[in-house]
Structure formats: structure tokens, C-alpha cells
Structure 1
Amino acid sequence: MRGDPKVIEYLNSALRHELAAVNQYWLHYRILDNWGYKDFAKVWREESIEEMRHADTIVARILFLDGAPNMQSLEKLRIGKSVKEIIDCDLAAEMSARALYLDAAKYCDSVNDRVTRMLFEHLTSDEEKHIDFLEAQLTLIDQLGEPLYAQKHVGELHE
């Protein structure tokens, strides 16, 4: 099925965001794991995998609309150097993706592409859940201080 060119542009923009998120969350997972924050790292690993699923869904939709998925370019990665910076970086990426998905959903509605609109609405919902989680973590850091907050996420010690 031939898709609206601007819808395909929006989908490729979304793909850039999701592919960057896969890499950013994965690198943050590895950093957190390396620092010893084992429980925290598990959450970031799962986020990376969820973002990969989003990217896969977007690629499938682009192909269905006879578009060409652009897997060559990514949004810039934001990499933190502390637990708080990691959360700040991921929150910024999620906010950027959410703004794109809201615009994309409106455009898809205007050209009567309900399926792609619903895809963007679903992605928006997922991003809002991520945003809520990350904002809650920042609130906890503010209330507890970063050292105490981070200590909670070390997990069990293993060799």
C-alpha cells in the first residue's frame, strides 16, 4: 500500500529516535552494570529491548506503506556520567520522542491514516510511561540524595 510521503518521513524520524534509544539505554545498562548497580541495570536493559520492539514495529509499518526504512542515521546519543545524569539524559530523549509522536499522530489524523496514527498514539503512551518513571526517579534522588538512592539499586552482590 502506497503511503503518504510525509507519514513515511515521520515514521523514519521515529525510527531514528527509537534506534538511538536502543543504543542509549543499552549503553546505560552496561555502564550501570559495570558500576555495580545490578538491579538498576536490569531495568535499563529491559527498556532497551522495548525500544527495539518499537523500532521493529516502525520498520514494519514503513515497509507496509512502500517506504524505505532509514537505519543509517540515529538521533544523537546522550550518555550520562552518573546515575542522575543517566536519568536526565534518558528523560530528555523520551521527551523529544514524545513531542515528535504527538505531531506525527496529528498529521496522520489529518491525512486519514488511522493505523499509523494509532501506532504513534501507542508510542506516545509508552513514552509517557517512561517519562513518568524517570521523573519519579529524579524526585527520589532529590528527596534522598544520589548516594542513598543509588545504594538502593545495587542489588545482590555476585562475583
Structure 2
Amino acid sequence: MEAKQGVLEHLNKILTGELTAVHQYVAHAAMCENWGYERLHHALQERAHDELDHARSLVEHILYLDGTPDLQTVNPLTIGQTVPEQFQHDLVLEMEVLTLLRAAIAHCTQVGDFTTRHKLEDLCVETEEHIDWLETQQETIKQVGLENYLSEQIKK
């Protein structure tokens, strides 16, 4: 099926964001594992798998629309040197992807590509869930303190 005007460009921008998120979450998960935060390592690994699923879904849909997925482009990573920095960098990245998703949804509505719009709306919901999780972690750190938060992340 041939893509409507501009849809493939939007999808590839989102794909770049998702691939960047995979790399960043994998790096942060590995750092947490190295620091001994097993619970946090697993949570971030799960986010990386979610982002990989998003990327896979986008690749499949781009191919369905007879396009070429750009799997080579990744934005620069922002690696946090502490857990709070990691959460902040991941939150910024998720918000950037959410902005791209919303713009693509609006574009798909405008050009009448309702199938792509529906798929992007599903990704939007999952991205909002990631944002909520990150904001919850940040709020928990504020409420209980970093030391108490991290002590709970040692064992799964």
C-alpha cells in the first residue's frame, strides 16, 4: 500500500526516536546493574524492550506502506551519571517522542491515513505510560529521598 504524503517522513522521525530510546535505556540499565540496582536494571531493561517493540512495529508499518525504514539514524544519547540524571534524560527523550507522535497523528488525520493514525495512537498511550513511570520515580525520590529509593532498588 502506498503511503500518503508526508507519512513516511513522520514515521521515520519517530523510528529514530524509538531507536535512540532503546540505546539509552540499555545503557542506563547496564549502569544500574553495574551499580547493584537489580530492580531498577530490570525495570529499565523492560522499557528498552518496549521501545524495541515500538521500533519493530514502526518498521513493519513503514514496509507495509512501501517505504524504507531508516534504521541507521540514532540521535545523540544523553547518558545520566546518576539515577536521577538518568530518569531526567529518559523523560526528556520520551517527551520528544511524544511530541513527534502527536504531530504525526495530526498529520495522518489531515491526510486521511486512519490506519497509521490508530497505530500511532497506540504508541502514544504506551509512551505516556513510560512518562508516567519516570515521573513517578522522580516524585518517589523527592518524597523518600535518594538513599531510601536506591536501597529499595538493590534486590528485585
Smaller-chain TM-score bracket: over 0.9
Distance 2:148 2:97 in 1: 30
Deviations for 1:91-140, whole angstroms, at most 9, x for unmatched residues?
01111100110110010011110111011111110011011111011011
SS at match of 1:70: coil
Q: CA deviation at 1:148?
A: 1.3
Equivalent residue number for residue 118 of structure 2: 118
Distance 1:47 1:6 in 2: 29
Equivalent residue number for residue 89 of structure 2: 89
Equivalent residue number for residue 149 of structure 1: 149
User: Which aligned runs of 4 or more in structure 1 are off by greater than 3 angstroms?
Assistant: none
Question: Aligned runs of 1:1-150 on 2, under 5 Å?
Answer: 1-150=1-150
Q: CA deviation at 1:9?
A: 0.3
Conserved 8 A contact 2:5-2:111: no
Count of aligned positions: 156
TM-score normalised by length of structure 2: 0.97
- AA aligned to 2:45 is R
Unaligned runs of 5+ in 2: none
Distance 2:141 2:86 in 1: 12
Distance 2:7 2:77 in 1: 24
Distance 1:104 1:76 in 2: 22
Q: CA deviation at 1:21?
A: 0.7
CA RMSD in angstroms, aligned pairs only: 0.9
SS at match of 2:67: coil
Unaligned runs of 5+ in 1: none
